[in-house]
Amino acid sequence: MSDESRPHRTAAVIPAAGRGVRLGPGAPKALRALGGTPMLVHAVRAMARSRAVSLVVVVAPPEGAAEVRLLLDEHTLPDRTEVLVVPGGETRQESVRAGLDALPADVTSVLVHDAARPLVPVDTVDSVVEALRAGAPAVVPGLPLADTVKEVGPGAPGRPEPVVATPERARLRAVQTPQGFDLPTLLRAHAEIALAGEGATDDAGMVERLGVTVVVVPGHDEAFKVTRPLDLVLAEAVLARRRATDAY
C-alpha cells in the first residue's frame, strides 16, 4: 500500500508517571483532584474529545498501573475510545517511550500529551492533528511570551547569576502539548537520541535533533501545565467557569 492510500490512525500517549514534586506533597500529580475528578481523567477526556483520536495510552506511575486502570474504568469516557494503561519510567522521556512501545501496528501518528495539562481545549488538539494530516512530521502548539527571557551564565557561588544574552522575544514560543508526530519519526528520535544518552524536556526537541522540521500551531492559554500550587488554583477557576457556562 502506498503512503498516500495508507489509512490514518491517530493515538494519544499521556505520560502520567511523574510525582509532581513542584506541586508539593501528596499523591502523584496526575491522580490529584481537579474539580473533584483526577487530573488524569480530565487529560484523557481532553484527548478523547477529538474525533481523530481512537486510542489513548496512559503511562502510569510504575507501582500504580493497576490503580490507574481501576480509576479510569470508574469514569465515563466516549465508547469509541480505547484506553490502555502501561507502567512508566524514571523520566518523562522513558515514560513516553513506554507508551510508544504499547501502540499497535496500525497507528500512523501520535499525540503526546502531558497529564499535567488537563484543560487543553479540543480545538487545540484538532489544530495539531490537522497540521499532521497536511503533511508536517512534527507539530507543537505554542504561544508568544509575555515576559522577556534572559540567558544566564555560570556565576560565582553565592553571587547573583550573570545575564549573558537576551534572545529576541518576538521569535520565542512557549510550547505546550499535545505535540503531534508522524509515528516513525518520533520512534526514530527516541531510538537515536536515547541511544546517544541525551535527554530532552519535550519530544519535539528530540525530533529537532534529527534535523526534522517541527512546526508551531497556535496554542491556548488554558492548555497551561499544572506545575506549581498556583497553577492548581488557576485550573480550578477555569474548570468552574467552564462548568458554569457550557455543561462541561
Ligand X SMILES: C[C@](O)(CO)[C@H](O)COP(=O)(O)O
Ligand Y SMILES: Nc1ccn([C@@H]2O[C@H](COP(=O)(O)OP(=O)(O)OP(=O)(O)O)[C@@H](O)[C@H]2O)c(=O)n1
- Binding of ligand X at residue 201 (CB under 6 A)? yes
**Contact positions with ligand X (CB under 6 A) in 64-93:** 92
- Binding of ligand Y at residue 19 (CB under 6 A)? yes
Which residues, in sequence order, are CB contacts of 69 under 8 Å at separation 6+? 60, 85
Compute the least distance from the CB of residue 2 to ligand Y, in Å: 36
- Binding of ligand X at residue 222 (CB under 6 A)? no
Contact window for ligand Y (CB under 6 A) among 21-29, 118-126, 158-166, 234-242? 21-29
Beta strands in 10-158 (DSSP E): 10-15, 33-34, 37-38, 53-60, 82-87, 109-112, 138-144, 151-152
- Binding of ligand Y at residue 230 (CB under 6 A)? no
Pairing between strand 163-165 and 151-152? antiparallel
C-alpha dist (Å) from residue 113 to 92, 162, 176: 11, 35, 9
Task: Tell which one of 95, 124, 176, 185 touches ligand Y (CB under 6 A).
Answer: 95
- Distance CA(244)–CA(238), nearest Å, equals 10
- Binding of ligand Y at residue 46 (CB under 6 A)? no
**Contact positions with ligand X (CB under 6 A) in 103-132:** 114
Contact window for ligand X (CB under 6 A) among 131-139, 170-178, 211-219, 230-238? 170-178
The answer to whether the beta carbons of residues 125 and 53 sit under 8 Å apart is yes
- Distance CA(244)–CA(61), nearest Å, equals 33
The letter for the amino acid at 173 is: R
Instruction: Name the residue nearer to ligand Y (CB basis): 21 or 247.
Output: 21
Contact window for ligand X (CB under 6 A) among 3-11, 30-38, 174-182, 238-246? 174-182
Report DSSP state, residue 206.
H
Compute the least distance from the CB of residue 78 to ligand X, in Å: 25
Residues at the interface with ligand X (CB under 6 A): 92, 114, 175-177, 201-202, 225
Residues at the interface with ligand Y (CB under 6 A): 15-22, 29-30, 59, 88-92, 95, 114-116, 225, 227
